Amino acid sequence: MGNILIAAAYAAYAAFWIRFLMHALVWWRAMARPAAIAGLTPPSSVKAWALSARDAVFFWRLIKVNPALWFGEWVFHVSFLVVALRHLRYFFPIVPEWVSWFQIPGLLAGYVLPLSLIYILLVRRYSDQEKYSSRTNMALLVLLS
């Protein structure tokens, strides 16, 4: 039974990274499409990667649609990343020093994480602007908070 659970965990991890890389490829291709439609020369691959990285790190499109939602989403993702980095200590037999640097920030981010989820839920529920997500995303937010 233990081997089955380990295999399932590795399969979920692999599925996450495969889907993430597929989304990154779609984003990268989409950066060149508006220029081609407008009759302009498509951006270079370096520029396309830079624009995709800017969109993935700073949620550039979301800030244009709803700045209040952008703030909550960015705080959620940053705090989630710090909490995930803090949890790396459970996976290393000898914990590297850089992982131990995330213990206190990770603890604080663990308290910020549910507050940011509640903030996102409230902004999405009561925002008069264009709806940014589907009902399944709202259900996921309710389950997480």
Residues 70, 47, single domain; the answer is: no
- pTM of the entire structure? 0.61
Residues 64, 52, single domain; the answer is: no
End residue of a domain, out of 19, 36, 57: 57
Model confidence band, residue 37 (pLDDT cutoffs 50, 70, 90):
low
Average pLDDT of span 84-91: 88
Residues 84, 127, single domain; the answer is: yes
Split into its structural domains, the chain has a count of 2
Residues 91, 46, single domain; the answer is: no
Range of the domain at 96: 59-145
Q: Look at residue 112 and tell me whether its pLDDT is greater than 80.
A: yes
pLDDT value of residue 74: 92
CA distances from 67 to 49, 59, 81, 140 (A): 24, 10, 21, 21
pLDDT value of residue 108: 95
pLDDT value of residue 30: 74
Model confidence band, residue 104 (pLDDT cutoffs 50, 70, 90):
very high
Q: Look at residue 2 and tell me whether its pLDDT is greater than 80.
A: no
Q: Look at residue 141 and tell me whether its pLDDT is greater than 60.
A: yes
Residues 51, 78, single domain; the answer is: no
Within its chain, how far is the Cα of 94 from the centroid?
28
Q: For residue 132, which of 38, 48, 66, 33 has the smallest C-alpha distance?
A: 66
CA distance 6 to 13: 11
pLDDT value of residue 47: 78
